[in-house]
Amino acid sequence: MAKRSVKPAKRKKHGNNRRWIGATAALSLIATTYIFLPAIKSSFLELSDFIIRDIGFVVKDINISGATPRTSQLISRSLGITRGDNMFKLSVSEIYDNVTKSGWVKSATVQKNLPNIINIKINERVPIAIFQHDGVATLIDREGVLMEDTTSNREKLPIVSGDNANVKATSIISVISKFEVFKGKIDVIRLVRDRRWDITVSGLLVKLPEYGVDQAIEALAQIMGHRNISKDTASCIDLRIHGNVVIKGSKLNRRSKGSV
């Protein structure tokens, strides 16, 4: 019996049509998304923000520790954060940058404690003097860092002057602070020709040597503690020559010499 040959059936073109329709739909979806994405994104963000607020992930408290009340207020104002702000929209790094912009802040740590607390711990700078430069008075700390311009001296800090005196004054202030007799009495600390210091103690000028400053200040403490010397009885105490004390009289117009 002869075999009949069977011709393969012709494939219909439905597959190609489906591909064309699918590609067109995809292109249409992409185009639509591209056109309306801003609106969709905005609506989504508004919805998510509403949900986040509804479940309590908003700022309730900002706790600042390690700083004086004044510095805490300065930091709070610089943050630009208010109660009710979305916690997820707040960047720890941005908060840190805003906090450390203050000259009063030496270092800081910032933590977001979900759902609603921001904790900021401050290592605060402490001013030890006022640096006068180019007609401007600026608070400085023990590292000589310029903290904040000031127009008053409520704390009666010593005035430091001279080129780079803000950086170099740390050592002499540390020595002076060892002696109780000078407490609250240092008016001015002036760097002379970037070599030595003149200080004013309760209005009395004292000239210190270029070398052996520690010994000279110790000798001055003994003089101020045991002799009735002030701006009313003398105009200057000259300690520039090692081992010698020269007291230049004011009203008495005399000069006395001694050794240390």
Residue 202 has pLDDT above 50, yes or no: yes
When pLDDT is averaged across residues 208-225 and rounded to a whole number, the result is 93
192 confidence band (pLDDT: 50, 70, 90): very high
Which has the closest alpha carbon to 197: 146, 160, 157?
160
When pLDDT is averaged across residues 248-253 and rounded to a whole number, the result is 59
- The answer to whether residues 204 and 236 touch, using CB atoms and an 8 Å cutoff, is yes
pLDDT of 49 reads 67
Output the six-digit token pair for 142: 């023990």
N-to-C CA span, the chain: 141
Read off the pLDDT of residues 140-180 as tens digits, 9 standing for 90 and up. 999 999 999 988 777 789 999 999 999 999 999 999 999 99
pLDDT of 252 reads 43
pLDDT of 136 reads 93
pLDDT of 32 reads 56
Q: Where are the domains of the chain?
A: 31-124, 129-259
- The answer to whether residues 120 and 108 touch, using CB atoms and an 8 Å cutoff, is yes
Output the six-digit token pair for 204: 């009395």
pLDDT of 237 reads 94
CATH of 31-124, one of 1.20.120.640, 3.90.1300.10, 3.90.550.10, 3.10.20.310: 3.10.20.310
How confident is the prediction for the chain on average, in pLDDT?
82
When pLDDT is averaged across residues 233-252 and rounded to a whole number, the result is 83
Which has the closest alpha carbon to 127: 152, 163, 100?
152
Hey, what CATH class is 129-259 in?
alpha beta
Q: Is 28 exposed, middle or buried (0-12, 13-18, 19+ CB in 10 A)?
A: exposed
pLDDT of 51 reads 74
pLDDT of 41 reads 46
- The answer to whether residues 225 and 207 touch, using CB atoms and an 8 Å cutoff, is no
Fold agreement (31-124, 129-259): no
What SS3 state is found at 22? helix
- The helix/strand count (H/E) of the chain reads as 5, 13
Residue 248 has pLDDT above 60, yes or no: yes
CA angle in degrees (0–180, nearest 5) for 4-8-10: 140
Specify the residue for token string 């000031």. 150
| Integer Cα distance of 130 and 128 in angstroms | 7
Read off the pLDDT of residues 97-130 as tens digits, 9 standing for 90 and up. 999 999 999 999 999 999 999 999 999 999 999 9
Q: Pick the more confident residue, 43 or 233.
A: 233
pLDDT of 34 reads 46
Which has the closest alpha carbon to 235: 218, 258, 256?
256
Residue 210 has pLDDT above 80, yes or no: yes
| Integer Cα distance of 146 and 61 in angstroms | 31
- The answer to whether residues 223 and 257 touch, using CB atoms and an 8 Å cutoff, is no
**pTM (2 decimals)?**
0.71
pLDDT of 255 reads 45
When pLDDT is averaged across residues 227-236 and rounded to a whole number, the result is 84
Read off the pLDDT of residues 36-83 as tens digits, 9 standing for 90 and up. 555 554 554 555 667 777 778 899 999 999 999 999 999 999 998 988
Strand partners, 189: 160, 199
pLDDT of 16 reads 55
DSSP state of 9: P
- The answer to whether residues 206 and 197 touch, using CB atoms and an 8 Å cutoff, is no
Output the six-digit token pair for 99: 């906090």
